Amino acid sequence: MGHITLARWADWIVIAPASADSIARLVQGRTDDLLAALCLASESPLAVVPAMNNKMWSNQATQDNINILQSRNIHIIGPASGIQACGELGEGRLVETEDIVTELVCLMVPTKLQGKRVLITAGPTYEPIDPVRFIGNRSSGKMGFAVAKAALEAGAEVSLISGPVHLSTPSGVNRVNVETAQQMYDAVMEDIEQFDIFIACAAIADYKPEQVKNNKIKKTQHSDLKLNLLPTKDIVSTVAQQKIKPFIVGFAAETENVTDYAKQKLQDKKLDMIAANRVGEKIGFAVDDNSLHVFWPSGSQVLPLAPKTQLARDLMTLIIERYDAKDSTKNS
Residues designated as active site: 86
Stretch 171-190 residues interacting with ligand C5P (CB under 6 A):
181
Q: Distance between CA 287 and CA 19 in Å, rounded? A: 37
Does residue number 206 form part of the binding site for ligand C5P (CB under 6 A)?
Answer: yes
Which of 187, 29, 211 is closest to 120 using CA atoms? 187
Does residue number 202 form part of the binding site for ligand C5P (CB under 6 A)?
Answer: yes
Which of 200, 303, 312, 315 lies at the binding interface for ligand C5P (CB under 6 A)? 200
Q: Quick one: which segment of 42-50, 112-120, 197-205, 295-303 binds ligand C5P (CB under 6 A)?
A: 197-205
Which of 126, 251, 285, 296 lies at the binding interface for ligand C5P (CB under 6 A)? 251
Query: Using H for helix, E for strand and C for coil, what is the string for 271-326?
Result: CCEEEEEECECCECCCCCEEEEEEEECCEEEEEEEEEHHHHHHHHHHHHHHHHHHH
Q: Quick one: which segment of 30-38, 209-217, 218-226, 228-236 binds ligand C5P (CB under 6 A)?
A: 228-236
Give the count of residues interacting with ligand C5P (CB under 6 A). Answer: 15
Q: Distance between CA 26 and CA 66 in Å, rounded? A: 10
Residue window 145-164: x/- pattern of binding to ligand C5P, with contact defined by CB under 6 A: --------------------
Q: Quick one: which segment of 54-62, 86-94, 198-206, 277-285 binds ligand C5P (CB under 6 A)?
A: 198-206
Q: Distance between CA 52 and CA 88 in Å, rounded? A: 11
Nearer to ligand C5P, 106 or 176 (CB): 176
Burial label for 206, CB within 10 Å (0-12, 13-18, 19+), is middle
Q: Distance between CA 131 and CA 134 in Å, rounded? A: 8
Q: Quick one: which segment of 34-42, 226-234, 285-293, 297-305 binds ligand C5P (CB under 6 A)?
A: 226-234
Stretch 106-145 residues interacting with ligand C5P (CB under 6 A):
121
Q: Distance between CA 143 and CA 231 in Å, rounded? A: 25
Per this entry, what is the length of the chain? 332
Does residue number 247 form part of the binding site for ligand C5P (CB under 6 A)?
Answer: no
| DSSP states of 219-255 | P-TTS-----EEEPP-HHHHHHTSSS--EEEEEEEES
Burial label for 244, CB within 10 Å (0-12, 13-18, 19+), is exposed
- Compute CA distances 255 → 123, 136, 152, 176, 259, whole Å: 18, 17, 31, 29, 11
Nearer to ligand C5P, 57 or 185 (CB): 185
Cβ pair 63, 48 in contact under 8 A: no
Nearer to ligand C5P, 11 or 210 (CB): 210
Nearer to ligand C5P, 48 or 273 (CB): 273
CB of 239 to ligand C5P, least distance (A): 8
Which of 265, 293, 308, 313 lies at the binding interface for ligand C5P (CB under 6 A)? 265
Does residue number 319 form part of the binding site for ligand C5P (CB under 6 A)?
Answer: no
CB of 290 to ligand C5P, least distance (A): 15
Q: Which residues would be at the binding site for ligand C5P (CB under 6 A)?
A: 121, 181, 200, 202, 204, 206, 232-236, 250-252, 265
